[in-house]
């Protein structure tokens, strides 16, 4: 049997499919619920790789892929070809390519440190060229970037949307942790990515989870009560409990239990809560300050703010792209939504909370475009070189949001709106004062083209397998008293110490630069992250 494996190296998690290369049929799909690198977003991952070594980051990424291959039930002798897609940082870390040219935005800084821009064109290489994958003796197919900072995931988003074939002014967004977005005006593509954080993927929300079976994905109000909709084993929303959101009383029991709430569920809940007075930004207006869902899942003011920061980052990105192109948000004719969140969220509700420009009348939901392109180039070398031609022809203007004053000004106003309760009229007034594209009120009847029911439309005859734990670890031996402060302060139970004083950090649970409580709790000469190594399973 000849197998190929297509992988989306996503910032919030990896998605992979085993494909029979002879029949071209998808056999099995495996997803992880987290990225193997410490941290909640791409900036955390970059910070980790720069400060603690790209070899360490590379080892974690490769080990995660090997765990995926094991769960896909693909042996080294059966794997002919492996294809990958994702943003430039994730693809570079996996391949062992330096990310210094991605980490520093200023040209003077790059010149000072002699940082060379890396080539990120389409290529087919042997797995022996990637440290840790030598045993598989297969081809690795890598799609091209448009520019060094505009990666294969953005190219996938642009090509799969069909925006290149239309004269409309359109915007495409991959709603994830590192929200990639592209605005097409005439023949120019304006791109950017907002480190929105993982709230839209259901993370950094107390009861949040990535889209997976038995997660709440949507809500509707029924006579003052909340109907929960829960993803079933086929990843389709199924009616759950009808709950009094103020007390948690179950008014009507559904036939499916819930383990948490997805990012799409967060958006739906926020839209309904704002419309029905359960939330007046930034407060939750219930007796105990919680919105009660089924199975004792709750949503707090902290969760409102986390979701608001993510929504605000994406809307600030849209505003920045429009400002750079010299157009108004009202000029956008069509919007394309990609990624798991972009597929499962209710597009009308998403528009009402600001994730889609308010006046855009045509909305299309695309699914996981990154995995789709990984699958295409796995099965067709011709498609790989076709994508390289497209990437070379695109007139791209990349906006680095980290240094764009338009993004800074817009995001400050977003934070004031979501976290401080700035009235919407005042929000619009200050946008105008800053010379930024303004916001209208949401339209009530956009035309929604839901092109797929699931972000991964075909799972294969062997179905979907969820790796709830990525299975990657960092380790070091410490010589310190048995106070175990590092374990006590870790908010995610990511740290353990065995009898030989060997520290084990579960990297998918670790919040990385966003946290580092363990480092601050322990003497630096005892607990030093610079001593960490990738733990290899064969050492056991």
Read off the pLDDT of residues 31-41 as tens digits, 9 standing for 90 and up: 998 899 999 88
Q: How confident is the model at residue 69 (pLDDT cuts 50, 70, 90)?
A: very high
The string of DSSP codes covering 101-170 is HHH---HHHHHHTTPPPPP---EEEEGGGSTT-GGG--EEEEPPPSBTTB-HHHHHHHHHHTGGG--S-E
Q: Tell me the sheet residues that pair with 218.
A: 229
Helix (H) or strand (E) holding 184: strand 178-185
**Under DSSP, is residue 512 helix (H, G, I), strand (E, B) or coil?**
helix
Q: Residue 93 corresponds to which tokens in the numbers above?
A: 């870390």
Residues 133-173: tens digit of each pLDDT: 999 999 999 999 988 778 899 999 999 999 999 999 999 99
CB 519 within 8 A of CB 54: no
Q: Which residues, in sequence order, are CB contacts of 467 under 8 Å at separation 6+?
A: 30, 31, 32, 33, 67, 68, 71
The arithmetic mean of pLDDT across residues 492-499, rounded, is 91
Residues 287-308: tens digit of each pLDDT: 999 999 999 999 999 999 999 9
Residues 345-383: tens digit of each pLDDT: 899 999 999 999 999 999 999 999 999 999 999 999 999
Task: Please report the pLDDT score of residue 105 as a whole number.
Answer: 65
* Neighbour tally for 308: CB within 10 Å: 22
- Number of helical (H) and strand (E) elements in the chain, helices listed first: 16, 27
Residues 340-349: tens digit of each pLDDT: 889 888 999 9
**Under DSSP, is residue 293 helix (H, G, I), strand (E, B) or coil?**
coil
Q: How confident is the model at residue 402 (pLDDT cuts 50, 70, 90)?
A: confident
Residues 431-483: tens digit of each pLDDT: 999 999 999 888 989 999 999 988 899 999 999 999 989 999 999 998 887 78
Residues 436-445: tens digit of each pLDDT: 999 988 898 9
- Pairing of the two strands 395-398 and 188-195: parallel
What is the residue-averaged pLDDT of the chain? Answer: 92
The string of DSSP codes covering 393-445 is H-EEEE--GGG-HHHHHHHHHHHHHHHH---HHHHHHHHHHTTPPP--PPPS-
pLDDT at 111 over 90: no
DSSP 8-state assignment for residue 97: -
- Is the previous residue joined to 282 through a cis bond, with omega within 30 degrees of 0? yes
Task: Please report the pLDDT score of residue 539 as a whole number.
Answer: 37
Residues 81-95: tens digit of each pLDDT: 999 999 999 999 999
**Under DSSP, is residue 195 helix (H, G, I), strand (E, B) or coil?**
strand
Q: Which residues, in sequence order, are CB contacts of 61 under 8 Å at separation 6+?
A: 9, 36, 37, 90, 93, 94
**Under DSSP, is residue 23 helix (H, G, I), strand (E, B) or coil?**
coil
Q: Residue 105 corresponds to which tokens in the numbers above?
A: 């935005």
pLDDT at 197 over 80: no
The dihedral built from the CA positions of residue 155, 157, 158 and 162, taken in this order, carries a sign that is positive
Which range, of 49-53, 107-111, 447-451, averages the lowest pLDDT?
A: 107-111
Task: Please report the pLDDT score of residue 312 as a whole number.
Answer: 97
Kindly list the distances between the CA atom of residue 443 and the CA atoms of 342, 348, 354, 361, in Å, as whole numbers in the listed order.
19, 9, 11, 8
Higher pLDDT, 520 or 536: 520
Task: Please report the pLDDT score of residue 481 as a whole number.
Answer: 72
Task: Please report the pLDDT score of residue 472 as a whole number.
Answer: 96
CA distance 193 to 191: 7
Question: Percentage of the chain surpassing pLDDT 70?
Answer: 99
Higher pLDDT, 190 or 104: 190
CB 447 within 8 A of CB 459: no
Task: Please report the pLDDT score of residue 537 as a whole number.
Answer: 65
pLDDT at 16 over 50: yes
Kindly list the distances between the CA atom of residue 491 and the CA atoms of 171, 232, 298, 340, 510, in Å, as whole numbers in the listed order.
38, 30, 19, 26, 9
Kindly list the distances between the CA atom of residue 34 and the CA atoms of 184, 217, 372, 374, in Å, as whole numbers in the listed order.
31, 18, 20, 19
Residues 204-242: tens digit of each pLDDT: 899 998 778 899 999 999 999 999 999 998 888 999 999
Nearest to 243 by CA among 220, 259, 266: 220
pLDDT at 540 over 50: no
Tell if the pTM clears 0.85, that is, is over it.
yes
């Amino acid at each position: 049997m000849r197998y190929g494996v297509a992988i989306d190296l996503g910032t919030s998690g990896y998605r992979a499919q085993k494909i029979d290369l002879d029949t071209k049929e998808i056999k099995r799909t495996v997803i992880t619920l987290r990225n193997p690198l410490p941290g909640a977003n791409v900036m955390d991952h970059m910070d980790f790789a720069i400060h603690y070594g790209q070899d360490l980051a590379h080892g974690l990424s490769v080990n995660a892929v090997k765990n995926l291959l094991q769960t896909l039930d693909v042996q080294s002798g059966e794997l002919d070809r492996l294809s990958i897609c994702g943003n430039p940082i994730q693809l570079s870390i996996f391949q062992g390519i330096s990310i210094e040219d991605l980490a520093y935005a200023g040209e003077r800084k790059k010149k000072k440190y002699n940082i060379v821009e890396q080539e990120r064109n389409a290529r087919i290489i042997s797995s022996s060229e990637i440290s840790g994958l030598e045993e598989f003796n297969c081809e690795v197919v890598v799609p091209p970037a448009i520019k060094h900072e505009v990666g294969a995931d953005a190219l996938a988003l642009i090509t799969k949307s069909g925006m290149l074939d239309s004269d409309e002014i359109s915007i495409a967004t991959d709603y994830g942790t590192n929200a990639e977005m592209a605005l097409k005006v005439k023949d120019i593509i304006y791109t950017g990515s907002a480190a929105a954080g993982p709230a839209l993927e259901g993370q950094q929300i107390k009861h949040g989870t990535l889209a997976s079976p038995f997660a709440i994905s949507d809500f509707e109000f029924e006579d003052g009560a909340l109907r929960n909709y829960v993803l079933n084993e086929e990843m389709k929303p199924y009616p759950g409990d009808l709950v009094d959101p103020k007390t948690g009383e179950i008014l009507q029991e559904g036939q499916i239990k819930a383990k948490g709430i997805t990012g799409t569920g967060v958006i739906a809940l926020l839209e309904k809560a704002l419309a029905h007075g359960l939330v007046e930004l930034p407060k939750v207006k219930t007796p105990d300050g919680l919105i009660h869902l089924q199975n004792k899942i709750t949503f707090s003011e902290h969760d409102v703010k986390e979701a608001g920061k993510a929504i605000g980052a994406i809307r600030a990105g849209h505003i920045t792209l429009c400002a750079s192109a010299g157009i108004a948000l009202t000029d956008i004719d069509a919007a394309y939504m990609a990624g798991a969140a972009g597929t499962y969220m209710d597009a009308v509700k998403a528009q009402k909370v600001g994730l889609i420009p308010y006046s855009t009348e045509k909305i299309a939901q695309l699914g996981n475009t990154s995995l789709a392109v990984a699958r295409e180039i796995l099965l067709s070398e011709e498609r790989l070189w076709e994508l390289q031609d497209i990437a070379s022809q695109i007139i791209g203007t990349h906006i680095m949001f980290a240094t764009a004053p338009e993004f800074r000004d817009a995001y400050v106003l977003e934070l004031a709106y979501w976290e401080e309760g700035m009235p919407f009229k005042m929000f619009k007034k200050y946008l105008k004062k800053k010379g930024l594209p303004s916001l209208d009120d949401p339209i009530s009847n956009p035309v929604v083209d839901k092109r797929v029911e699931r972000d991964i439309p075909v799972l294969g005859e062997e179905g979907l397998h969820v790796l709830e734990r990525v299975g990657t670890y960092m380790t070091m031996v410490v010589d310190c008293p048995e106070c175990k402060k590092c374990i006590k302060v870790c908010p995610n139970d990511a740290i353990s110490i065995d009898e030989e004083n060997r520290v084990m950090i579960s990297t998918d649970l670790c919040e990385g630069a966003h946290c580092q409580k363990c480092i601050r709790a322990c003497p630096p000469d005892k607990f030093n992250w610079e001593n960490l190594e990738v733990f290899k399973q064969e050492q056991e």
